[in-house]
């Protein structure tokens, strides 16, 4: 049994998707259509940068999903493999829903562009930050969040948790984590306190956006970041996406659920190898291959 995984925000890099675009008409079709939809030079920014523009939330979100779906569409020309489950890390959940047929590509890109704009606006109104905490017991970290007012953003894998919230709360939590024995505490280069209560207004706006597009039942089960369980009904998918923007990403639990269902191999679509790295910490026996560049496709032949 196989699971499909889709990259999340932060995995972007200058040059992503370029050789797929140059090598495969399926990738060209995806990038060309995305650029029409977003109304800015998506390809130029993905392929040539500059990096500071690419990593801005309202650009990186549609860019990563475009690169991920381009890789997925090229993969489909080489393989008829049908996964047992799909999942994506935060933003990647939208790519998973597109691949599963729950969102059309057009609607997905429009929704993701809106999500990025909503999150950027929320970040300006309610400034925040995020930080990765390595090798600190989760219960200790939960206590620190209670003391500081920080929140848990991502439960990525054993020994790696991301905290979020108001800048002063995260700064205090980072200091407390260091004193409590965390191996490392790393500020993340993001523009706000995502997956926190600072995104409450954004979740209301996202619900309005979701109410105005068509969402279908997925052809394959997509495991929700919010519940760490498969979602099958459109109402359930919409509700989970609304909660996801302000709630914790339960990635480790999501992967453990998929593994418990008998999945032993995974394909990660999109830029980077972040999810492969996380899986190595969750279950070192699981096999993960990445589809990011044309060389990855060539290895399938």
What architecture does CATH give domain 128-187?
Answer: 2-Layer Sandwich (3.30)
Residue 6 forms beta bridges with which residues?
88, 269
**DSSP character string of 212-230:** TS-----SS-EE-TTTSSE
pLDDT in tens, 200-239: 999 999 999 999 999 999 999 999 999 999 999 999 999 9
CA distances from 224 to 86, 124, 164, 246, 287 (A): 9, 27, 20, 14, 21
- Provide the pLDDT for residue 264: 96
Parse the chain into domains and list their residue ranges: 2-124+196-298, 128-187
- Provide the pLDDT for residue 301: 60
Tell me how crowded residue 235 is: count the other CB atoms within 10 A of its CB.
Answer: 9
Active site amino acids: 90, 195
Q: Could you report how far apart the first and last alpha carbons of the chain are, in Å?
A: 20
Q: Rounded to an integer, what distance in angstroms lies between the CA atom of residue 31 and that of residue 46?
A: 10
pLDDT in tens, 72-106: 999 999 999 999 999 999 999 999 999 999 999 99
Q: Are strands 2-6 and 85-88 parallel, antiparallel or unpaired?
A: parallel
* CATH superfamily placement of domain 2-124+196-298: Malonyl-Coenzyme A Acyl Carrier Protein, domain 2 (3.40.366.10)
Q: Which residue numbers in the chain have pLDDT < 50?
A: none
Helix, strand, coil shares, percent, the chain, to 5: 50, 15, 30
- Provide the pLDDT for residue 77: 94
- Provide the pLDDT for residue 298: 85
Q: Which two tokens stand for residue 219?
A: 């052809």
Query: pTM here?
Result: 0.96
- Provide the pLDDT for residue 190: 83
Q: Which residues of 29-42 are buried (b: 16+ CB within 10 A; e: fewer)?
A: ebbeebbebbeeeb
DSSP 183: S
Specify the 3-state DSSP secondary structure of 207: helix
């Amino acid at each position: 049994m196989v699971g499909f995984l889709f990259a999340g925000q932060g995995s972007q890099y200058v040059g992503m998707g370029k050789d797929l675009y140059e090598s495969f008409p399926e990738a060209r079709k995806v990038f060309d259509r995305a650029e029409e939809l977003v109304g800015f030079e998506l390809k130029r920014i993905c392929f040539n940068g500059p990096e500071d523009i690419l990593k801005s939330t309202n650009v990186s979100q549609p860019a990563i999903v475009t690169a991920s779906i381009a890789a997925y569409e090229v993969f489909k020309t080489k393989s008829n493999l049908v996964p047992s489950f799909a999942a994506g890390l935060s933003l990647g959940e939208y790519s998973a829903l597109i691949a599963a047929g729950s969102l059309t590509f057009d609607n997905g890109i429009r929704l993701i562009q809106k999500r990025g704009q909503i999150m950027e606006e929320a970040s300006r109104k309610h400034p925040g930050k995020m930080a990765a905490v390595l090798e600190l017991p989760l219960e200790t970290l939960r206590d620190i969040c209670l003391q500081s007012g920080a929140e848990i953003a991502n439960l990525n894998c054993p020994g790696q948790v991301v905290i979020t919230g108001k800048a002063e709360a995260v700064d205090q939590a980072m200091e407390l984590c260091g004193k409590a024995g965390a191996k490392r505490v790393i500020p993340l280069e993001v523009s706000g306190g995502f997956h926190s209560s600072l995104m409450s207004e954004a979740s209301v706006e996202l619900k309005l956006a979701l109410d105005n597009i068509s969402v279908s039942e997925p052809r394959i089960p997509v495991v929700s970041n919010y519940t760490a369980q498969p979602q099958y009904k459109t109402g359930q998918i919409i509700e989970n996406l609304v909660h996801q923007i302000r709630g914790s990403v339960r990635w480790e639990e999501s992967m453990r659920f998929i593994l418990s269902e008998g999945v032993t191999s995974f394909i990660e679509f999109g830029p980077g190898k972040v999810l492969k790295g996380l899986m190595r910490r969750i279950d070192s026996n699981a096999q993960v291959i990445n589809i990011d560049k044309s060389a990855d496709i060539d290895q399938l032949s």
